[in-house]
Amino acid sequence: MKGVNRALGGQLNHYAAVAAGSALGSVLRYGVSLACLAFVGSGFPWATLGVNLLGSWLIAWWATRASATPGGFIQRWQSFVVAGFCGGFTTFSLFSLESLTLLQTHAPLTALAYFLLTPPLWLAFAAWGAQVARRS
């Protein structure tokens, strides 16, 4: 295994961290989706909106804190949290599919609202996460 890690430029631990974080994030996203369906139904994609907003906040917070503390705990866990967990937890592809599904199921105003409001909300939550991290 050491030979493989050396061949990858010592990055095997990072790949493993991304894989573990992604698995955890994906499973949690799936659980949130099931819970939202059970509690609020399927009229609006609340679960995807929620995980993408939370993920936008978390990824900006984590990256901001990591850049402020080089070599610290936060930076050492960045592969796991940012590329792995946030990458698995958030989902642009599901956002695209849900927007298309809303259009195809004759809910054009809901689709338009979802499509137009979501990206600015992602940016706002990312800015908020970075702002909170700078204050920490």
Q: Which long-range contacts (CB under 8 A, 24 or more apart) does 104-109 make?
A: none
Output the six-digit token pair for 85: 């967990």
Handedness of CA 11, 14, 19, 20 (dihedral sign): positive
Q: Which residue ranges make up the annotated binding site for Na(+)?
A: 87, 90
Binding residues: 87, 90
